[in-house]
Amino acid sequence: MDVKKLIEKYHKAHSEHPCCEGCGAVIQESDASDVEYVKTKRRSELFIHKGCVNEVWR
């Protein structure tokens, strides 16, 4: 899965960059290698820094 393209798609659809669910920092396309992407059953799109995953799901 190409996270960089998903970040770009989110940016075009929402006119803003996504925020990390763990730390709240804005995620840029250049951060794509350190970001996990989750699409929930309710079609929510979550972007999480790999270092923040343990903060979200303990």
How is the chain split into domains, by residue range? 3-56
- The string of pLDDT tens digits covering residues 9-31 is 999 999 999 999 999 999 999 99
Pairing of strands 45-49, 35-39: antiparallel
Reported confidence tier of residue 1, pLDDT bands at 50, 70, 90: confident
Asked if pLDDT for residue 57 goes beyond 90, the answer is no
Reported confidence tier of residue 36, pLDDT bands at 50, 70, 90: very high
Asked if pLDDT for residue 58 goes beyond 90, the answer is no
> What is the C-alpha separation between 6 and 51, in angstroms, rounded?
19
As a whole number, the mean pLDDT across the chain is 91
